[in-house]
Amino acid sequence: MATYNPDWVKTFYDQYGEKEWKRWDASPVEQIKFQVHLYYLTRYLGKDDRVLEIGAGRFTQALCRIAKKIVVADISPVQLQLNQENVRGLGLAGSIERWVECDLCDLRPHFRDGEFDAVVCYGGPLSYVFEKRHQAVAELLRVTRPGGRLFLGVMSLWGTVHHYLAGVLQVSPALNRKIIASGDLASDLGISTHLCHMYRAAEFKDLIERAGGIVEVLSASDCLSGTWAAQLETIHENVEVWQHLMEIEMEACREPGCVDMGTHLIAACRKPA
57 in Cβ contact with 153 (< 8 Å): no
In the chain, what is the straight-line distance between the N-terminal and C-terminal CA atoms, in Å?
37
pLDDT at 264 over 80: yes
Q: Give mean pLDDT, residues 207-233.
A: 92
Residues 6+ apart with CB under 8 A from 255: 223
Q: At what angle do helices 133-142 and 201-210 cross, to 10 degrees?
A: 50
CA distance 51 to 97: 10
Query: Cβ(123)–Cβ(24) under 8 Å?
Result: no
Answer whether residue 241 shows pLDDT above 80.
yes
For residues 259 and 221, is the Cβ–Cβ distance under 8 A? no
Q: Are 114 and 144 in contact (CB under 8 A)?
A: yes
pLDDT of residue 251: 97
In one letter, which amino acid is 65? R
Give all domains of the chain, ordered by start, each with its CATH number: 6-270 (3.40.50.150)
CA 187, chain centre distance (Å)? 22
Question: Does the pLDDT value for residue 44 go beyond 80?
Answer: yes
Give Cα separations from 21 to 124, 180, 203 (angstroms). Answer: 14, 29, 28
In this predicted structure, what is the pLDDT of residue 64?
96
pLDDT at residue 236, rounded to an integer: 83
pLDDT classification of 229: cutoffs 50, 70, 90:
confident
- CA-to-CA distance for 202 and 108, rounded, in angstroms? 29
Task: Give 115 or 228, the one with higher predicted confidence.
Answer: 115
User: By mean pLDDT, which of 122-126, 147-151, 217-221, 224-228 is the weakest?
Assistant: 224-228
> Residue 132's CB: how many other CB atoms inside 10 A?
19
pLDDT at 191 over 80: no
Rounded CA-CA distance 261/174 in Å is 23
Predicted pLDDT at 232: 87
